Chains A and B, each alone.
Chain A
Amino acid sequence: MGQAALYTTSNSGARLHRDLVYATDAEPFGTLHMTIDSSKKYQTIQGFGSTFSDASGANLKSLPDKLADTVIRQYFSESGLNLQFGRVPMASTDFSGRVYSYNDVPEDYMMKNFNLTREDFQWKIPYIQAAKRYNPNLKLFGAPWSAPGWMKTTKEMSGPGALNGHAGDNYHKAYATYFVRFLEEYSKSGINFWALSTQNQPTLGSDKKNKIQSTLFTAETQRDFIKSDLGPALKGKNVTLLIMDDNRGNLPKWADTVLNDQDAARYVSGIGVHSYQDSETDKHLDDTHKKHSNFFILGTEASEGGGAKEQSVDYGSWERAEDTVSDILDDLNNWVVGWTERNLILDAQGGPSWVSDFADAPIIAFPALAQFYKQPMFYAIAHFSHFIKPGAVRIDHSLNVIELEVESAAFLNPDGSKVIIMLNKAALVSTEHTVVVQDAADNRNHYQFKLPHRSITTLYIQTSNF
Chain B
Amino acid sequence: MLKLYLVCILAIFAPPTFGSDCNQKQFKSGTVCVCDLTNCDEIPKIDLTSGQAATFTTTNAGARLHRDIVYATSSDPVTSLHLTIDSSTKYQTIQGFGSTFSDASGANLKSLPDRLADTVIQQYFSDSGLNLQYARVPIASNDFSSRVYTYNDVPDDYSMTHFALQREDYQWKIPYMQMAQKYNHDLKFFAVPWSAPGWLKTTNSTAGYGSLLGSNQGTYHKAYVSYLIKFFEEYNKQGIQFWGLSTQNQPTLGSDKKTKMQSMLFTAETQRDFIKLDLGPALKASSVAKSLKVLIMDDNRGNLPKWADTVLKDSETASYVAGIGVHSYQDDQSDKHLIATHENHPDYFIFGTEASEGYKAKEQSVDYGSWDRAEDYVSDIVDDLNNWVAGWTERNLILDAQGGPSWVSDFTDAPIIAFPALAQFYKQPMFYAITHFSHFLKPGAVRIDHSLNVPNFDIQKSAFLNPDGSKVVVLQNKNILASYGISVKDSQRSSDHYQVHMGPRSIVTLYIQN
Measured CB to CB, the residues of A under 8 A from B are: 55, 58-59, 61-62, 97, 315, 347-349, 351-352, 356, 365-369
Q: Which of A55, A59, A348, A366 has the most CB of B within 10 A?
A: A348
Q: Is B285 an interface residue (CB 8 A)?
A: no
**Closest 6 pairs (CB-CB, A-B):** A348-B401, A58-B421, A368-B107, A349-B401, A348-B402, A367-B111
A367 to B398, CA, bound (A): 14
A368 to B418, CA, bound (A): 9
Encode B413-431 as 1/0 by CB contact (under 8 A) with A: 0000011111000000000
**Which single member of A59, A61, A347, A369 contacts B146 (CB below 8 Å)?**
A369
29 contacts between A and B (CB under 8 A): A55-B421, A58-B421, A58-B422, A62-B111, A62-B421, A97-B422, A347-B420, A348-B401, A348-B402, A349-B368, A349-B401, A351-B419, A351-B421, A352-B419, A352-B422, A356-B25, A356-B26, A356-B27, A366-B400, A366-B402, A367-B111, A367-B400, A367-B420, A368-B111, A368-B400, A368-B404, A368-B405, A369-B107, A369-B146
- Contacting pair A366 B421 (CB below 8 A): no
A368 to B398, CA, bound (A): 11
B405 contacts which chain A residues (CB < 8 A)?
366, 368-369
A365 contacts which chain B residues (CB < 8 A)?
421
Q: Closest Cβ of chain B: how far from A231's Cβ, in Å?
A: 37
Identify which of residues 210-247 in chain B touch chain A, using a CB-to-CB cut-off of 8 Å.
none
By secondary structure, the B interface counts as: mixed
> How many residues from B make CB contacts under 8 Å with A?
20
A347 to B424, CA, bound (A): 13
New A-B contacts (11) at CB < 8 Å, excluding given A349-B368, A352-B421, A368-B418: A61-B421, A62-B111, A315-B402, A347-B401, A347-B420, A352-B422, A356-B25, A366-B400, A367-B111, A368-B400, A368-B420
Measured CB to CB, the residues of B under 8 A from A are: 25-27, 104, 107-108, 110-111, 146, 368, 400-402, 404-405, 418-422
B111 contacts which chain A residues (CB < 8 A)?
62, 367-368
A356 contacts which chain B residues (CB < 8 A)?
25-27
B400 contacts which chain A residues (CB < 8 A)?
348, 366-368
A356 to B104, CA, bound (A): 25
Q: Which of A351, A365, A368 has the most CB of B within 10 A?
A: A368
Given contacts A348-B401, A367-B111, A368-B108, contact A62 B420 (CB under 8 A): yes
Q: Which of B25, B26, B107, B111 has the most CB of A within 10 A?
A: B111
- Contacting pair A347 B421 (CB below 8 A): yes
A61 contacts which chain B residues (CB < 8 A)?
421
Q: Closest Cβ of chain B: how far from A343's Cβ, in Å?
A: 12
A369 to B25, CA, bound (A): 26
A59 contacts which chain B residues (CB < 8 A)?
421
A97 to B146, CA, bound (A): 29
A62 to B418, CA, bound (A): 12
Q: Which residue of B lies closest to A368 (CB)?
A: B107
Q: Closest Cβ of chain A: how far from B175's Cβ, in Å?
A: 15
A62 to B112, CA, bound (A): 9
Q: Closest Cβ of chain A: how far from B112's Cβ, in Å?
A: 9
A367 to B110, CA, bound (A): 9
A347 contacts which chain B residues (CB < 8 A)?
401, 419-421
Q: Closest Cβ of chain A: how far from B83's Cβ, in Å?
A: 40
A58 to B421, CA, bound (A): 5
**Which single member of A315, A348, A352, A368 contacts B104 (CB below 8 Å)?**
A368
A367 to B402, CA, bound (A): 12
A19 to B404, CA, bound (A): 37
A61 to B402, CA, bound (A): 19
- Contacting pair B27 A368 (CB below 8 A): no
A315 contacts which chain B residues (CB < 8 A)?
402
Q: Closest Cβ of chain A: how far from B25's Cβ, in Å?
A: 7
B404 contacts which chain A residues (CB < 8 A)?
368
Q: Closest Cβ of chain B: how far from A362's Cβ, in Å?
A: 17
Q: Which of A58, A59, A61, A366 has the most CB of B within 10 A?
A: A366
B401 contacts which chain A residues (CB < 8 A)?
347-349
A230 to B110, CA, bound (A): 47
A368 to B171, CA, bound (A): 12
A97 contacts which chain B residues (CB < 8 A)?
422
A352 contacts which chain B residues (CB < 8 A)?
419, 421-422
B110 contacts which chain A residues (CB < 8 A)?
368
Q: Which residue of B lies closest to A309 (CB)?
A: B28
Q: Closest Cβ of chain A: how far from B67's Cβ, in Å?
A: 29
Q: Which residue of B lies closest to A97 (CB)?
A: B422
Q: Closest Cβ of chain A: how far from B263's Cβ, in Å?
A: 22
A62 contacts which chain B residues (CB < 8 A)?
111, 420-421
Q: Which residue of A lies closest to B418 (CB)?
A: A368
B146 contacts which chain A residues (CB < 8 A)?
369
B421 contacts which chain A residues (CB < 8 A)?
55, 58-59, 61-62, 347, 351-352, 365, 367
Q: Closest Cβ of chain A: how far from B368's Cβ, in Å?
A: 8
